[in-house]
Amino acid sequence: MNLLDRAEEVRFQFKKDLFKVKIDIQSVENFRLRYLGKKGYIPALFREFTSLSVEDKHKCGKILNQIKKESENSIDTLKQRLNSIGIDEDFFDYTLPGKLPRLGHLHPVTQTMNEICSIFREMGFGIEFGPEVETDYYNFQALNFPKNHPARDMQDTFFIGDSILLRTHTSPIQIRAMEKQKPPIRILAPGRVYRNEAISARSFCTFHQVEGLYVDENVTFCELKGTLEIFAKRYFGKDVKLRFRPSYFPFTEPSAEVDISCFICGGSGCRVCKHTGWLEILGCGMVDPNVFISVGIDPEKYTGYAFGMGPDRIAMLKYGIDDIRLFFEGDIRFLNQF
């Protein structure tokens, strides 16, 4: 159909001319008249349109209207530019603010967890989840916390029933994984945990953990140290120093706490590290044989290590946040910073 072809041609020509128009009143007006004036190209197309059959009108109407609207808009824009820039046609206010793309923000603790997980995943760990409502068996007994042992005081627990509770750590996931899988087992267990502790700037009733577990033949303490060293250097920087000191967790034997040299003061002592030069960052140890026995893994054949850390605490240290409650308030002025 001829009319449509001609219309497309007009549209094309218009766009070409548009770039060449000089920004002064006379040139813009001339340009307008050439296309939209009574004798201009576009009214000419419409005159032709009126003589079409009803059917053809349906086909062309939209296109013609579109071309007309486009041209009018372009010329309006040209006129606006004329008005806003006055006589200086080259003026361009580059100081006007840009339009920022609007993207959301992941929670700083999510970001921290993801960073931690991705480092260990590169080393070969997979990721497992588990329920937040747990049984006493998975949360304590299978992890070698005897009933009525003072070790249970290390973790103040919310109870739902006699033997149902909110998990106090993500270690039950280790038990569940070892029940399901055969060695070699290498998993990370991230998730939300609960402690029945008074709420303050330093402690909240819920927070997060990432735990790791590796079980195979001949897993050694040296290997545990090597793994955590790689993690710490990747996460905190290659100059970071690690300090392992013996500690006690019922599910590992031996157990250790790991400090890193304070990345704020470089080890010389500051308020954050309480003037010790060290920041406590994670707990770890070799899997206790009793834990292996409770999941039916032969402790003579297999050894393993486990470690755990708190992304909330790590994020607090990393970003200099002094109140854990900020993580749970959802203030966008806070979240916007990460």
Site for other proteins in 80-139 (CB under 8 A): 96-97, 99-100, 102-107, 109-110, 114, 117, 121, 123-127, 129, 131-133
- One-character DSSP codes across 294-313: HTT--TTT-EEEEEEE-HHH
3-class DSSP assignment, residue 221? helix
Element (H, E) at 69: helix 54-85
178 binds other proteins (CB under 8 A): no
Binding mask 267-296 for other proteins (x = CB under 8 A): -------------------x-xx-------
The encoded tokens of residue 182 equal: 């055969």
Please say which residue, 69 or 149, places its beta carbon nearer to other proteins. Answer: 149
* Least distance (Å) between residue 275 CB and other proteins: 10
Chosen from other proteins, Zn ion, none, partner binding at 265 (C-beta under 5 to 8 Å by type): Zn ion
**Which residues touch 189 (CB under 8 Å, ≥6 apart)?**
127, 128, 129, 130, 170, 171, 173, 174, 177, 209, 210, 211, 212, 213
Number of residues that bind Zn ion (CB under 5 A): 5
* Least distance (Å) between residue 34 CB and other proteins: 28
Please say which residue, 48 or 156, places its beta carbon nearer to other proteins. Answer: 156
The encoded tokens of residue 277 equal: 């030069």
Chosen from Zn ion, other proteins, none, partner binding at 22 (C-beta under 5 to 8 Å by type): none
Find the binder of other proteins among 51, 53, 150, 296 (CB under 8 A).
Answer: 150
* Least distance (Å) between residue 315 CB and other proteins: 11
Chosen from other proteins, Zn ion, none, partner binding at 87 (C-beta under 5 to 8 Å by type): none
Chosen from other proteins, Zn ion, none, partner binding at 230 (C-beta under 5 to 8 Å by type): other proteins
- Do you know the residue count of the chain? 338
Please say which residue, 85 or 230, places its beta carbon nearer to other proteins. Answer: 230
**Which residues touch 53 (CB under 8 Å, ≥6 apart)?**
none
Please say which residue, 23 or 265, places its beta carbon nearer to Zn ion. Answer: 265
Q: Is residue 316 classed exposed, middle or buried when 0-12, 13-18 and 19+ CB atoms within 10 A define those classes?
A: buried
55 binds other proteins (CB under 8 A): yes
78 binds Zn ion (CB under 5 A): no
265 binds Zn ion (CB under 5 A): yes
- Dihedral of CA atoms 181, 111, 235, 186 in degrees, nearest 10, equals 0
Applying the rule CB under 5 A, the residues between 244 and 263 that interact with Zn ion are 262
3-class DSSP assignment, residue 28? helix
240 binds Zn ion (CB under 5 A): no
- Dihedral of CA atoms 327, 332, 336, 338 in degrees, nearest 10, equals 10
**Taking the mean position of all CA atoms in its chain, how far away is CA 258?**
26
Element (H, E) at 259: strand 252-261
Applying the rule CB under 8 A, the residues between 191 and 250 that interact with other proteins are 192, 194, 196, 198-199, 205-206, 214, 216, 218-223, 225-227, 229-230, 243-248
3-class DSSP assignment, residue 165? strand
Chosen from Zn ion, other proteins, none, partner binding at 329 (C-beta under 5 to 8 Å by type): other proteins
* Least distance (Å) between residue 94 CB and other proteins: 14
**258: which strand partners?**
244, 282
